[in-house]
């Protein structure tokens, strides 16, 4: 099917929107050309995250013409393997581009509370969640690219919406969100039926 005909019949599902929100809170990127009537999603993850990329591809498959591919990338003068795919440029992505990129730089929208569903949080955690240490059940969300005000906005939602005990953790490269070990059980219940088995190692209590 030709791209124009394909685009005409496409609509983002509610599930796709939830996954998209979770991606945009992490490394997901929406690109929009000047004067374009739409935007496109760009997914790029390290080679070790290929299962995550394959899952994301299945979620957005009806918007994608070319399956994920492996490419060489250079970061800090070091070569890395990345797995990438792009969606078609489509009007349904435009709204989310306007939400997250009002001036061109990615932000956390003031309206994010309504969009941050448990599924969106699970996708965000799969992409940006990490383990503090083997001995600690506390977990980390890598939010270094966002401002303190934006991170405080997310923290308020995580506290009020998901009943998580969270705080800001200062690092050399920016600010992280720390999910207290006291919230381990709450976090486990929230995520265990939503994240991929590949990411069970990130849970406070292994499944």
| pLDDT tier for residue 167 given thresholds of 50, 70 and 90 | very high
Q: Which of 34-38, 82-86, 178-182 has the lowest mean pLDDT?
A: 34-38
User: Would the pTM count as exceeding 0.85?
Assistant: yes
pLDDT of 206 > 70? The answer is no
pLDDT value at residue 47: 74
pLDDT value at residue 99: 96
Mean pLDDT across 22-46: 92
Q: At what angle do helices 50-59 and 14-25 cross, to 10 degrees?
A: 140
Residue 156 CB-half CA count within 13 A: 12
pLDDT value at residue 77: 63
pLDDT of 207 > 60? The answer is no
Residue 128 CB-half CA count within 13 A: 23
- Residues 7-28 pLDDT 10s: 667 999 999 999 999 999 999 9
User: Domains of the chain (ranges plus CATH)?
Assistant: 3-107 (3.10.28.10), 114-201 (3.10.28.10)
Tell me the two tokens of residue 48: 């070790």
- If you average pLDDT over every residue of the chain, what do you get? 90
Mean pLDDT across 51-66: 95
Highest mean pLDDT among 3-7, 133-137, 152-156: 152-156
- Residues 80-128 pLDDT 10s: 788 999 999 999 999 999 999 999 999 999 999 999 999 999 999 999 9
The SS3 call for residue 196 is coil
């Amino acid at each position: 099917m030709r791209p124009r005909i394909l685009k005409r019949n496409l609509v983002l599902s509610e599930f796709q929107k939830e996954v998209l929100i979770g991606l945009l809170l992490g490394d997901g990127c929406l690109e929009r050309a000047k004067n374009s009537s739409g935007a496109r999603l760009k997914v790029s993850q390290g080679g070790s995250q290929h299962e995550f990329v394959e899952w994301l591809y299945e979620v957005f498959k009806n918007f994608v013409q070319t399956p994920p591919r492996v490419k060489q990338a250079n970061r800090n003068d070091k070569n890395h393997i990345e797995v990438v795919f792009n969606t078609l440029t489509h009007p349904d992505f435009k709204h989310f581009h306007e939400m997250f990129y009002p001036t061109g730089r990615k932000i956390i929208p003031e309206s994010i509370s309504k969009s941050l569903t448990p599924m969106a949080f699970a996708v965000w955690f799969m992409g940006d969640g990490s383990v503090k240490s083997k001995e600690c059940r506390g977990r980390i969300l890598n939010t270094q690219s966002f401002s303190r005000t934006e991170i405080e906005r997310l923290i308020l939602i995580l506290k009020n919406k998901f009943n998580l005990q969270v705080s800001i953790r200062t690092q050399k490269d920016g600010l992280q969100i720390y999910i207290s070990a006291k919230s381990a059980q709450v976090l486990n219940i929230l995520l265990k039926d939503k994240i991929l088995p590949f990411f069970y190692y990130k849970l406070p209590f292994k499944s």
